[in-house]
A = this chain, B = another copy of it.
């Protein structure tokens, strides 16, 4: 065993790995992994992410541990990046062995975050959406959109997506990318048109400001709302009145009350933790006319599940490189000697 080498999944390797397995299979596998980890929720160390805010964005560290494996993600959110030709969200992550503290995996997570966010949304909808849902409105057609569409197809059996974005070019990109996916793809000229007949409404816009993508009169009885875009202080997508009519499900209340749609509500407004629904401790949707809302902000355990999956698949397929990241002197106390001896090498 070479102690100094850490398996590294680069962007290129991640694409190879995902294409090798198939996007929909990865989304299904991730949904299953995340669900399994949500079921054992109390086993994890949980802490709200550690955020460093600036005028233009945020940089966050999201750590967790199940006592055997430790994981964290570095992720930024900079809505104005798009205008500069940069990603709004970029990320990478690490797994480490709790027993030794040695890293087990370093991985790109820009692509992986898109996959795990969609897988989490679809997994939540499996528990919360009305029975027999086949049509989803997808409002916001940016970098996350196709992953959401394919996640809901693969995990929930959605057959139609109804697209809307304030920028028609984003919608056109999405239509092109989803051609041949097996989904019926409908480009719509307004949010109202997009939600027509949809049993699931996904909002995944990126403005860092209080926005109102959905107003109260747009949301009918019985729908499931998958609110993905409101994920930091000052950034929301839904009108407050919708929240007051909905059964609200969240990942980790301490974090969601700061970052999610419910930052618009009093701190004691009742919410249900999604893991409790999955663990059978509390009901999910209570009747066919209830509006269910998954107020998704993304939580460290989802990244942990995704990184563990990628480590297993990378090992199986060989889609990784080795990174010389950990100093490994012959005698662990002789770090300086290792440096001295390096000077003598040709």
Residues of A within 8 A of B (CB): 3-4, 8, 10-12, 15-16, 18-19, 23, 45, 47, 50, 52, 54, 56-59, 61, 63, 65, 67, 70, 72, 74, 76-78, 81-82, 84-88, 90, 92, 94, 96, 98-103, 108, 110-111, 114, 141-147, 170, 173, 176-177, 323-329, 331-340, 342-343
Given contacts A11-B328, A47-B50, 12 further A-B contacts (CB under 8 A): A11-B327, A61-B61, A81-B332, A90-B102, A90-B103, A108-B326, A110-B335, A114-B336, A143-B336, A147-B336, A170-B333, A173-B337
Chain A to chain B contacts (Cβ below 8 Å), 22 pairs: A8-B323, A15-B342, A19-B343, A50-B50, A57-B99, A58-B101, A59-B96, A74-B96, A82-B333, A86-B332, A87-B327, A87-B329, A90-B103, A90-B327, A108-B327, A111-B327, A142-B333, A143-B329, A143-B334, A170-B333, A177-B336, A177-B340
Instruction: Give the complex CA separation of A4 and B87 in angstroms.
Output: 10
A244 to chain B, nearest CB (A): 32
Q: Is the CB of A334 within 8 A of B177?
A: yes
Q: Is the CB of A339 within 8 A of B59?
A: no
Task: Return the chain B residue nearest A82 by Cβ.
Answer: B332
Whether A101 contacts B76 in the complex (CB less than 8 A), given A61-B63, A108-B325, A339-B111, comes out as yes
Q: Which of B72, B143, B329 meets A335, CB within 8 Å?
A: B143
Instruction: Give the complex CA separation of A86 and B328 in angstroms.
Output: 7
A58 surroundings in chain B (CB, below 8 A) = 101
Quick one: copies of this chain in the complex? 2
Q: Which of B84, B141, B329 meets A100, CB within 8 Å?
A: B84
Whether A10 contacts B337 in the complex (CB less than 8 A), given A15-B342, A52-B65, A102-B90, comes out as no
A294 to chain B, nearest CB (A): 21
Instruction: Give the complex CA separation of A298 and B141 in angstroms.
Output: 45
A65 surroundings in chain B (CB, below 8 A) = 52, 54, 59
Whether A333 contacts B173 in the complex (CB less than 8 A), given A11-B327, A63-B52, A86-B102, comes out as yes
Q: Is the CB of A326 within 8 A of B101?
A: no
A108 surroundings in chain B (CB, below 8 A) = 324-327
